[in-house]
Amino acid sequence: MAVTIKNIADACNVSRGTVDRALNNRGKINPEKKELILAKAKELGYKPNYIARSLKRGKTNTIGIIVFNLYNEFFSSLINSMEEKAKEKDYHIDLALTHYDKNTEKKCVESMIRRQVDGLILCSVNNEKDYSSWLQKFNIPVVSLANKISNKIPYISIDDRRAMKDAAQYVADKGYDRIIYISPPLAYEDTHNIYALKQRFEGFSQVNMEHESIIINSKDYIKELETINILEYKTAILCTSDIYALEVLNYLKEKKIKIPSQVGVMGFDNINMLKYIEPHLTTVSYPIEQIGAIAIDSISQAIENGNKIQNMVITHEIIIGESL
């Protein structure tokens, strides 16, 4: 059994209240007694029970974080930055992964609620109409990242529409006259919230190319690519995630198609591992670590001061590589 305040109180022949005062510098206390108590606490290896403290205070100092998975470096970078910022603000993070499943996501939220997290940061795929009201019912601050839930839930992100428009325009300016646009999640509109990807698609659609674009929204996008004569026209393959672009690069290398002389490739996210990839991938930076830090900052303020969290748009940037 762990050492409790009561154990210390008994050992020092004082009351639990006095021990509490000594340990937490509360109110007036006889300095000698205080020293004795602190010494005893150390001797016994006392560690306060935060579960009990949380129950009493109604605050766990924990922020629940729900993301898809950690296979995409995008999310591990996000968690990394949040953990660091949270530690700095004396918060703990509670992590759960949804693997893109909306029911898993709801279960994760409920689990967080039962564990009384003080706030929730969410990368959501849930597309249910009343999802944001469902979330608000729990009466804790919620922030969404990577995918907007609704106007009722604060959302911190880049301007996805503008970013993809910029990307497509960059492709056009480079002299390409056809784009193959790869965005598998677009096929999941009925079952998933794909807000950000729809935004990107809209942005992409605003740029006119000489030849009609080809949209690939299949999970087997490489298989789909095989059915297309890639070398027709001056073609660029524009991907909505670096991960897709990396798979595409692998495919093109296998087919001995030269990048960028025969076909251009562009990604999205600018994940760290790109520095090891050849040719250097042209992509769009998504400052996810910065966004993670901001999210923790905002939510901790919302928790502590009741501040309303504002939507925020962080600037993106075209990262020029050698794949286009």
Partner DNA sequence: CTGTTAGCGCCTTCAC
Partner DNA sequence: GTGAAGGCGCTAACAG
Return residues touching a copy of itself (CB under 8 A): 2, 45, 47-52, 54-55, 60, 69-71, 73, 76-77, 79-80, 83-84, 87, 92-97, 110-111, 113-116, 137-139, 246, 249-250, 253, 272-273, 275-278
Interface pick for DNA out of 11, 29, 93, 214 (rule CB under 7 A): 29
Tell me if 33 contacts DNA by CB under 7 A: yes
Task: Name the residue nearer to a copy of itself (CB basis): 91 or 170.
Answer: 91
Tell me if 49 contacts DNA by CB under 7 A: yes
DSSP state of 99: T
The distance of closest approach from Cβ of residue 26 to DNA in the complex, given in angstroms and rounded to an integer, is 6
Restricted to residues 264-293, the positions that interact with DNA (CB under 7 A) are none
Tokens of 278: 């050849």
Residue spans of beta strands (DSSP E) within the chain: 62-67, 92-97, 119-122, 142-145, 155-158, 178-182, 214-216, 235-239, 264-266, 283-285, 312-314, 317-319
Tell me if 16 contacts DNA by CB under 7 A: yes
- Length of the chain in residues, anyone? 324
Rounded CA separation 144/32 (Å): 51
The distance of closest approach from Cβ of residue 3 to a copy of itself in the complex, given in angstroms and rounded to an integer, is 11
The distance of closest approach from Cβ of residue 91 to DNA in the complex, given in angstroms and rounded to an integer, is 16
The distance of closest approach from Cβ of residue 111 to DNA in the complex, given in angstroms and rounded to an integer, is 14
Tell me if 26 contacts DNA by CB under 7 A: yes
Closest CA to 79 of 297, 293, 287, 315: 293
Which partner from the list a copy of itself, DNA, none does 18 bind, CB cut-off 5 to 8 Å by kind?
DNA
Closest CA to 123 of 188, 69, 197: 69
Cβ neighbours for 123, distance < 8 A, ≥ 6 positions apart: 66, 67, 68, 75, 98, 144, 145, 146, 147
Task: Name the residue nearer to DNA (CB basis): 62 or 98.
Answer: 62
Closest CA to 75 of 238, 273, 323, 281: 273
The distance of closest approach from Cβ of residue 62 to a copy of itself in the complex, given in angstroms and rounded to an integer, is 8
Pairing mode of beta strands 264-266, 235-239: parallel
Which partner from the list DNA, a copy of itself, none does 200 bind, CB cut-off 5 to 8 Å by kind?
none
Closest CA to 131 of 147, 153, 113, 111: 153
Which partner from the list DNA, a copy of itself, none does 152 bind, CB cut-off 5 to 8 Å by kind?
none
The distance of closest approach from Cβ of residue 320 to a copy of itself in the complex, given in angstroms and rounded to an integer, is 18
Interface pick for DNA out of 11, 23, 70, 172 (rule CB under 7 A): 23
Q: Which amino acid is at 90?
A: D
Contact residues toward DNA (CB under 7 A) are 1-2, 4-6, 13-18, 20-21, 23-24, 26-30, 33-34, 48-49, 52-53, 55-58
